Chain A
Amino acid sequence: MTLEDAPLVRGNLSFHDVTEMVAYHTEKKTPFGWYLAFGAALTALGILGLSVAYLVWNGPGVWGLTNPVFWGWAIVNFVWWVGIGHAGTLISAVLFLFRQRWRTSINRAAEAMTLFAVACALLFPTFHVGRVWVIYYTLPIPNQMAMWPQFKSPLLWDVFAVSIYGTVSLLFWYVGLIPDLATIRDRAVRAGRMLRAKILGFFALGWTGSNRHWRHYERAYLILAGLATPLVLSVHSVVSFDFAVSIIPGWHTTIFPPYFVAGAIFSGFAMVQTLLLVARKVYKLENLITLDHIEKMNIIILVTGTVVGFAYITEFFMAWYSGVEYEQYAFMNRATGPYWWAYWIMMSCNLIFPQLFWKKSWRRTIWLSMAISITTNIGMWFERFVITVTSLHRDFLPSSWDYYSATVWDLGMYIGSFGLFFTLFLLFLRFVPMVAIAEVKGVMPQADPHFYHGHGDGHAMPHELAQYQQDANVQTAGPAASDADDDGIPDDPNADDSNA
């Protein structure tokens, strides 16, 4: 059996099992562990509040910025968070356009991750300006100054790119949520929890799941996916223009737009992997987010990691090939200068470690996937650090060379941004179906119109129907099959995964 036709939902689950499995986590009593995690996230959020307040009150001089290195951690973190956010849209939009059915069980969490990562990203360009109270000047609003923003600046494009990206991602996520909100609304009605039902009913917008509803829904979803796809590619390209349109050696490179996008997908998938490997364990979703899903994500990490590695080598080659001494120096400085350690962390985490995934059994190993997803995010943080800082701290004039090191307030903002992210993410896990129930049902074998009818000829053999009824009885009667070796496949030797 190849990876392509492996069943997407394991454990011979029925439609009802899937609903139960996902909706239960929004309905049960809040577990103690969630409070612990939420407390930690709120603490970090407090650090964010403190860092922002201190920063705004005292000015950006509290950061470690120096005259040549005027972009430090704030921009590094901005690009890093935006990059993280990109995998969510890639999973929900690009993979949707490519009819990748395996996206269904991970897209909800990935889109939520996008939204929260974009929220974290927006923190940094907002607060790294010296005067945050006039940041509305960046918006083209008619005003008493008769003044307009400069549309030639990629920093202005950032404003549009990221705000549009955030809006479209939110709409996409919300449209996808409507049928699932209706599901848990109906479950709340049945359980007699009327306040909950009304709140959910408000957000479900009166969804009844009629044929007409679904037709509109599918069309809207397709259009949003079609709109979000060029957004994914352009938003991070725009972010890369912040650097690429400058004249700094090490920044002025035409390879940046595709290379940044590849890096965004690379780091974004790694973050999805990190989050989902934990979530599937904690929330017992191993039958929905299977080892095959993990393997496919690892393949994407491998591919994009290789693209990023290719870009690193291309940059180095072009520096040598250009014959421009400043560019040659910029790259020698990266590998051997005062920030050599950052460069080699980047190279090993991004170029070398993901190559382990060439081996099939390794990319199906949970702990290794976890380890590499984390090293990838470390590596991608250092990629942005290397690009931003090493290019600035030594450029054309040796008289303006300097060393940059972050202060505790840089660190506070960064830790605080995790606080914001996890606060939002934990709220999401608690209150919203973390897997797209309706979409997962759509890819289950039972959703196939021919499922009850043999091999598509419209005539089920009597023994096939009997087998199905027996399966259904087993599913609803007993607990889920045990899965001791944690491979997503139940141990029951009689279970027939193909369901054909």
Chain B
Amino acid sequence: MPQLFPRRANALPTVTLFGALGGGLLLVAFVWYYLSPEFYEVGYAPEQPVPYSHALHAGQLGMDCRYCHNHVEQSPHANVPPTQTCMNCHGVVKTESAALLPVRESWATGVPIEWVKIHHVPDYAQFSHAAHVNVGVGCESCHGRIDQMEVVYQAEPLSMGWCLECHRQPEDHLRDPALVTQMGYLEQMTEADIQQNRERIEREGIKPPQNCSACHY
């Protein structure tokens, strides 16, 4: 009986084996990297109706975060400031600026500015800013160095695994609640701070919940 397959078909088992192994590894790597929120969420920076610069206001001018986001210590929701807040200054500062035209229009007509939301957590996950800020989770832990952002982008994945990471090891992220809005704190954090955090967690009974009903009700 003649040979059905050429001699090079002998390579088929090896190719199949390595193909399956390599392909499997590639698939895992692909899914791990490209399908994670770290890839497709982090860095999201849509164009805003007003070219608002956090780098200018919070960075160079040194405004405290809570001047504009003034409900962050009381409310689950950290508000986006209304046009009124902008006009507090821009009623007299840069009144002719073309970039600020939408703000003045909004002020004149009463139609709110349609800011584009960047940090989306689905509606079935309930998040409270107040609960975190008051216990000493700094703004930069979750939002990154806002004071250096010309345009705000999402700095962290906001995935559930990322949330739980901190809820399981809060000492790596906590700080004195008086310093929550201080930018650049994390870079200077030392082992002594972490030890202090541990003691504070013990003393104040801070228990970051890891159960379903904490966020998903």
Contacts and interface: CB of A to CB of B under 8 A. Distances in A.
A144 B159 CA distance: 6
Contacts of B38: 144
Chain A interface bracket (under 10, 10 to 19, 20 to 34, 35 or more): 10 to 19
A143 B160 CA distance: 9
A144 B4 contact: no
A145 interface: yes
B1 A186 contact: yes
A194 B37 CA distance: 51
Contacts of A194: 4
B2 interface: yes
B138 interface: no
A143 B28 CA distance: 11
Contact of A189 (B1, B37, B160): B1
Nearest to A204: B4
A303 B165 CA distance: 57
A146 B1 contact: no
Q: Which of A143, A146, A147, A201 has the most CB atoms of chain B within a 10 A radius of its CB?
A: A146
Nearest to B12: A202
A311 B160 CA distance: 48
Interface residues of B, number: 14
Interface in A154-207: 185-186, 189-190, 194, 197-198, 201
B33 to A, nearest CB: 11
Contacts of A144: 36-38, 157, 159-162
Nearest to A145: B160
B34 to A, nearest CB: 12
A145 B4 contact: no
B4 A197 contact: yes
A189 B161 contact: no
Given A144-B37, A146-B164, A189 B159 contact: no
B161 A146 contact: yes
A190 B4 CA distance: 12
A201 B9 CA distance: 11
Interface string B149-169: 000000001011110110000
B4 A143 contact: no
A467 B164 CA distance: 83
A213 to B, nearest CB: 15
Given A144-B36, A144-B37, A201 B4 contact: yes
Interface string B112-139: 0000000000000000000000000000
Nearest to A208: B1
Interface in B1-43: 1-2, 4-5, 36-38
A185 B4 contact: yes
Interface in A132-147: 143-147
B37 A201 contact: no
Nearest to B5: A201
B168 to A, nearest CB: 9
A198 B164 contact: no
Contacts of B157: 144
A132 B23 CA distance: 27
A197 B1 CA distance: 12
Contacts of B165: 146
A189 B5 CA distance: 12
Nearest to B2: A189
Nearest to A194: B4
Contacts of A201: 4-5
Nearest to B1: A189
A205 B162 CA distance: 47
Contact of B161 (A145, A186, A190, A197): A145
A197 B2 CA distance: 11
Nearest to B41: A144
B207 to A, nearest CB: 18
A186 B5 CA distance: 13
B27 to A, nearest CB: 12
Contacts of B36: 144
A387 B171 CA distance: 53
A201 B2 CA distance: 12
A198 B5 contact: yes
Contact of B160 (A146, A190, A197, A198): A146
Interface string B28-71: 00000000111000000000000000000000000000000000
Contacts of A145: 159-161
Contacts of B37: 144
A147 B1 contact: no
A26 to B, nearest CB: 17
A133 to B, nearest CB: 14
A189 B4 contact: yes
A186 B4 CA distance: 10
A213 B171 CA distance: 62
A147 B164 CA distance: 10
Contacts of B159: 144-145
A73 B160 CA distance: 36
Contacts of A197: 4
A144, A145, A186, A190: most-surrounded residue (chain B CB, <10 A):
A144
The 7 closest A-B pairs by CB, nearest first: A146-B161, A145-B160, A144-B159, A201-B4, A146-B164, A144-B161, A144-B36
Given A190-B1, A201-B4, 5 more contacts: A144-B37, A144-B161, A144-B162, A189-B1, A189-B4
11 contacts: A143-B161, A144-B37, A144-B160, A144-B161, A144-B162, A145-B159, A146-B160, A146-B165, A186-B1, A189-B1, A197-B4
Interface of B: 1-2, 4-5, 36-38, 157, 159-162, 164-165
